[in-house]
A and B are shown apart, each in its own frame.
Chain A
Amino acid sequence: MSNYNFAYLDEQTKRMIRRAILKGLAIPGYQVPFASREMPMPYGWGTGGVQVSAAVLTPEDTFKVIDQGADDTTNAVSIRTFFERTAGVETTTATCDATVIQTRHRIPEEALQEGQILVYQVPIPEPLRFLEPRESETRKMHSLEEYGLMHVKLYEDISRHGHIATSYAYPVKVEGRYVMDPSPIPKFDNPKLGDMAAIQLFGAGREQRIYALPPYTQVVSLDFEDHPFEASKADHPCGMCGATDSYLDELIVDDAGGRMFVCSDTDYCEARQAAGHKGKDAA
């Protein structure tokens, strides 16, 4: 890969992305259009996150990639290898050692610190898209702060099911202005979005949008007074480390349909196990 520029992208492309990131930070929650480039991995596989990471990385960074909270899922491995090769950056699986973390579908359990940057891969950045497929319409709705449709949808859930039936990609309102899609993180992670010490950047490659949350930004999950937002997870402790406060994956462990629950954040789980915590399924 030595024929390619540092972090793969050419400098002009990086400048374009960097300008979009700055505007995103200046207007938290607003989706900045950017001329996403074709990347050497398919659209939908993290091209937005990869372009944002490429635009922020310096050679001194330590980079971590997670998919579903795990460092060892195949696409996380693939993206990590890509930056090892093209940017020569050090990589890590330890959340606390990373300066830039690219993620798909999770926010690490461990609280992030100042000096860290969390880059999200976003498939559909428009929170109103499934209510209104037309970009020209949703853009108008954002400009007019016309979010009634979203509230109607959530309220229909309540009248049908007794509560809001959105379990991931749960919409949030940023600084009382823009309704934002937090990417398909489980709603369990939503409370971590606000007041975070780290910078959060969101990249949607195919949809050509970048948006951002500066540190300590006010982020509120949409809800109703009589139906307040509730962050939920499987009501079990982790089978490996015994954690009761982490988001869990459910695994089928035998032909009889036996199940166990394990932290989706592999680094968190391993660190707890190394510190001597043990769940009921641990060897």
Chain B
Amino acid sequence: MQAAPLSGGFANTATQSAHAFRSVMEAMARPGTIQDIEGASPPAPLSPAAGAVLLTLCDTETPVYLAGEMDCDAVRSWLSFHTGAPFVGPAQCMFAVGIWDALGPLSIYPIGTSEYPDRSTTLIVDSAGLSASGAKLKGPGIKDYAALFLPELEAFQANNLLFPLGLDFIFTKGSELAALPRSTQISRLDSKAGAQVGAS
């Protein structure tokens, strides 16, 4: 049974979206850290975290692409009611939501232009495994090194090579999220080193 489209939004938009944004911002500013995010109860298959990110960032001015099974009536009507965001294909979207396997290949999304690298898609990768271990991260926002579980390495490495163009990622699961901006360099974690790498 799906949640009705009218429910599950922010009860107090101003303060809940302020809190949710701070979580997203902390995550984007500190790649590899895992943040709590609350306030949304979207219909399945959208996770509460992905729902909160969408409520916080989307409105009539942000075209959204629903990938794979996310493109269902329940998600469409919930998102329409709460954000008014228009639904589009991957080539036009500002945000894309889906599980990793449904989102690819990454070449279908706008990566910005050399004069406006910000005009690129932010991908919300839902239901990903979230843990501060896996790939080794280095770059802005990270003191020394951080670690984050990524569904694969090559796609993210290739994305980083596009910098300053490229895509930005928000990983969501349950009521948690992490982020990976295009600026992060990714490599395979050395065995053993993982234990010392905290989410700084």
Q: Are A58 and B22 in contact (CB-based, < 8 A)?
A: yes
Interface positions, chain B 26-42, Cβ under 8 Å from A, are 26, 28-30
With A56-B21, A143-B114, A214-B140 in contact, do A25 and B28 touch (Cβ < 8 Å)?
yes
Q: Are A25 and B25 in contact (CB-based, < 8 A)?
A: yes
Closest to B14 in A: A6
Q: Are B22 and A12 in contact (CB-based, < 8 A)?
A: no
Q: Is B141 an interface residue (CB 8 A)?
A: yes
B63 to chain A, nearest CB (A): 12
With A11-B13, A56-B25, A140-B115 in contact, do A28 and B140 touch (Cβ < 8 Å)?
yes
Q: Are A21 and B18 in contact (CB-based, < 8 A)?
A: no
Closest to A219 in B: B140
A24 to chain B, nearest CB (A): 8
Docked CA distance A30–B114 (Å): 11
**Mask: chain B, 178-196; 1 = CB below 8 Å from A; 0 = not:** 0001110000000000000
B188 to chain A, nearest CB (A): 22
Chain A residue numbers with a CB within 8 Å of B15 are 6, 58-59
**Mask: chain A, 1-15; 1 = CB below 8 Å from B; 0 = not:** 000011100011011
B49 to chain A, nearest CB (A): 16
Chain B residue numbers with a CB within 8 Å of A32 are 118
Interface centre among B26, B94, B141, B182 (most CB of A within 10 A): B141
Q: Are A27 and B182 in contact (CB-based, < 8 A)?
A: yes
Task: Please pick, from B59, B115, B183, the residue contacting A15 in the complex, using a CB distance under 8 A.
Answer: B59
Docked CA distance A217–B140 (Å): 5
Chain A residue numbers with a CB within 8 Å of B58 are 15
Q: Is A215 an interface residue (CB 8 A)?
A: yes
Interface of B is mostly: loop
Q: How many residues of B contact A (CB 8 A)?
A: 41
Q: Are B61 and A22 in contact (CB-based, < 8 A)?
A: no
Q: Are A144 and B56 in contact (CB-based, < 8 A)?
A: no
Closest to A34 in B: B118
Task: Please pick, from B29, B56, B116, B163, the residue contacting A215 in the complex, using a CB distance under 8 A.
Answer: B29
Chain B residue numbers with a CB within 8 Å of A143 are 113-115
**Mask: chain B, 102-146; 1 = CB below 8 Å from A; 0 = not:** 000000000001111110101000000000000000011111000
Chain B residue numbers with a CB within 8 Å of A218 are 140
Chain B residue numbers with a CB within 8 Å of A197 are 143
Task: Please pick, from B21, B61, B118, B139, the residue contacting A55 in the complex, using a CB distance under 8 A.
Answer: B21
Chain A residue numbers with a CB within 8 Å of B181 are 25-27, 214
Q: Are A217 and B25 in contact (CB-based, < 8 A)?
A: no
Given A6-B18, A25-B141, 19 more A-B residue pairs with CB atoms under 8 Å apart are A6-B14, A7-B18, A11-B13, A11-B17, A15-B59, A18-B25, A19-B57, A19-B62, A22-B24, A23-B168, A26-B168, A26-B181, A58-B19, A175-B139, A175-B183, A214-B29, A215-B141, A216-B140, A218-B140
Chain B residues with CB under 8 Å of chain A are 13-15, 17-19, 21-22, 24-26, 28-30, 56-59, 61-62, 94, 113-118, 120, 122, 139-143, 163-164, 168, 181-183, 200
22 contacts between A and B (CB under 8 A): A6-B18, A11-B13, A14-B21, A15-B17, A16-B61, A18-B24, A18-B25, A19-B57, A25-B28, A26-B168, A26-B181, A26-B182, A58-B19, A58-B22, A175-B140, A175-B183, A178-B164, A213-B140, A214-B30, A216-B140, A216-B143, A217-B140
